[in-house]
Amino acid sequence: MCIQFTLNSLAIRFFAPKGVDKTELFWIYLGYGRDTEEQSQMRVMQSNLTGAAGLVSLEDGCINEFVQRGTRNDPECSSFMEMGGGSPNPRRTLGD
Amino acid sequence: MPSVIEKPVAQSSDDQYRDAAELIASYGHAMDDGEIDLWPQFFMPNGLYLITTKENHEAGLPIGIMRCVGRGMMIDRVKAFHTANIFEPHTYNHIIGHPTMSYDKATGCVTARSNFQVARIMETGQMDLYAIGKYLDVIQEEGGSLKFKERVVVLDSRNVDILLVVPL
């Protein structure tokens, strides 16, 4: 489960396994009881950015599909992905 | 632009129905031919395009899968499609059923409902049934041609495979 808070929109995503080679992603968008009509409309519009086919988030389904395709080839093996932290990583900054 | 949009404005409701049916068919053909750049022009400048699910639509929930209010947001979608979005290349094939329509003289709008099935074809040639649902349209004349004032795409198939990047 993933709690998503982007801009002013609160959403919950469920990543539900449907078998060894299938998952389903559910998107639930929440409004607030105290929202004015205008605030509700703003949250609805923001869903076009961060929703199931949002301009920012629509690749999420595609990326999961790519990962799943990669992992199903070697069901007996394990692997991990290292995301930095293994060696010094000098980075240029504005001060350089 | 599809030729239908350049035809003279219809006078009778029969003409309106014929032209509205032509608009619905032309839209499907344009999407199937990969003419996504034409997509915003099928709508009124302040037109609404919404893809939602049957469950959300019937429950009156406003958030669906894709929402564009006005041509500007549609043009943004087209630009994102060309320059920002990551996806596997694919095409659609729409099968659209005969629409049922009504004409409101007061507003000059045609309200139409048509069922559709969309197959998605990947570069490998693999074909899958991708979406099934109905188009709920409000169609209005603008500058001598008919356009969608509203196109609400209600999916019976709630479960969208992988992602939805090309408008249905």
Which chain A residues are within 8 Å of B87, Cβ to Cβ? Answer: 58-59, 62
What's residue A67's pLDDT?
Answer: 77
Distance CA B97, CA A80 (A): 49
The answer as to whether A28 is a domain residue is: yes
The answer as to whether A65 is a domain residue is: no
Cβ of B131: how many Cβ atoms within 10 Å?
23
Distance CA A24, CA B151 (A): 27
Number of domains in chain A: 1
Q: Which of B65, B76, B88 sits opposite A53 (nearest CB)?
A: B65
Size of interface A-B (CB pairs under 8 A): 53
The SS3 assignment for B114 reads strand
Interface residue A62 vs chain B (CB under 8 A): yes
Q: What domains are defined for chain B?
A: 3-155 (3.10.450.50)
The answer as to whether A79 is a domain residue is: no
Cβ of B43: how many Cβ atoms within 10 Å?
22
Outline where DSSP puts E strands in chain B. 43-53, 66-69, 90-96, 100-104, 109-122, 127-142, 145-155
The answer as to whether A40 is a domain residue is: no
The CA distance from B102 to the nearest CA of chain A, in Å, is 29
For residue range A14-37, list pLDDT tens digits in order.
Answer: 888 888 778 888 889 999 999 999
For residue range B128-164, list pLDDT tens digits in order.
Answer: 999 999 999 999 999 999 999 999 999 999 889 988 9
The answer as to whether A27 is a domain residue is: yes
3-state secondary structure B78-95: HHHHHHCCCCCCEEEEEE
The answer as to whether A78 is a domain residue is: no
pLDDT classification of B17: cutoffs 50, 70, 90: very high
Q: Which two tokens stand for residue A45?
A: 């519009």
Which chain A residues are within 8 Å of B66, Cβ to Cβ? Answer: 48, 51, 53
Domain of A29 in residue numbering reads as: 1-33
Q: Which DSSP category does A41 fall into? A: H
Mutate to test the interface with A, among B61, B67, B130 (most CBs of A within 10 A): B67
Can you list the alpha helix ranges (DSSP code H) found in A1-96? 37-50, 59-71
Q: What residue of B is the nearest CA neighbor of A24? A: B159
pTM of the full predicted structure?
0.86
What's residue B3's pLDDT?
Answer: 52
Q: In sequence order, which residues have a C-beta less than 8 Å from that of residue B156 and are 6 or more positions away?
A: B54, B132, B133, B134
What's residue A95's pLDDT?
Answer: 61
Q: Which of B63, B64, B85 sits opposite A58 (nearest CB)?
A: B85
Q: What residue of B is the nearest CA neighbor of A47? A: B63
pLDDT classification of B59: cutoffs 50, 70, 90: very high
For residue range A41-81, list pLDDT tens digits in order.
Answer: 999 998 888 888 888 888 887 787 777 777 777 778 877 77
Q: What residue of A is the nearest CA neighbor of B69? A: A45
Q: What percent of chain A has pLDDT over 70?
A: 91
